[in-house]
Amino acid sequence: MKTIIIDDNTVSVDGVLYERKAVEFPEFILLNGIKWETKNIEDYHNFYEANGIAAVNGKRLPTKEEFEQLNSCFKVWDSNLTGYWFAECKADLKNPFKSLFLPAAGYRYYFTGSVYNQGSYGYYWSSTAYSGTLGHSLYFNDAYVGPVNYGSYAYGFAIRCVIP
C-alpha cells in the first residue's frame, strides 16, 4: 500500500484520492518497539499537567531515552505540514500507516499564555525530569532534531503519548 499525503485535506492511497477525514489512520505507530500515538493531546500543558493527563488516559509520556530512540529513526522535515516524519525504514517516511508525524506545535509561554513558534518549532514533554524546575523534552525545527533538551516545567509544550 502506497500512501501519499497530498495536502491538509487530501491523501492518495495506491493512487486513489480520498478526503483525509475519510481515511482511518491507525491510533498508534510501532517504532523501535514503542507504540506511539498518532495524535497529540489537545492544547499545551506544563510538565506536571502533561504527565497527569497521560496517566489519566492510561498512557504515559515518552522517556528521554525513548526520544533518543525516536531520533535514531529515519526522519524528514515536511514543509507542507510543518513537522517531522519518523520511520524505521526510509521508504516508509510520510506514509501515515508506517511512520510517525510530529507537527511543529510551538509552545505556550507561561507568563502570558500566548503561543509562539507554531509551524516552525516543535516542543514535546518527556516524562523525565532534568532538575527541580526543568524537564526533558524533544525539540526540533526544520533543520535540527534535539531529543535531549529541557525546559522550565511552567512552559506549555505539546503532548504525544506512548502506549504501555
Rounded mean pLDDT for each run of 10 residues along the chain, 164 residues in total: 54 58 76 94 93 92 97 94 94 90 95 95 97 96 95 96 94
Give the pLDDT of residue 145: 97
Give the pLDDT of residue 109: 96
Give the pLDDT of residue 96: 85
**For the structural domain made of 27-163, what CATH number should be given?**
3.10.100
> What's the predicted TM-score (pTM) here?
0.85
Give the pLDDT of residue 22: 53
Burial class (CB in 10 A: 0-12, 13-18, 19+), 124: buried
Burial class (CB in 10 A: 0-12, 13-18, 19+), 27: exposed
Asked whether 106 and 124 are in contact (CB, 8 A), the reply is no
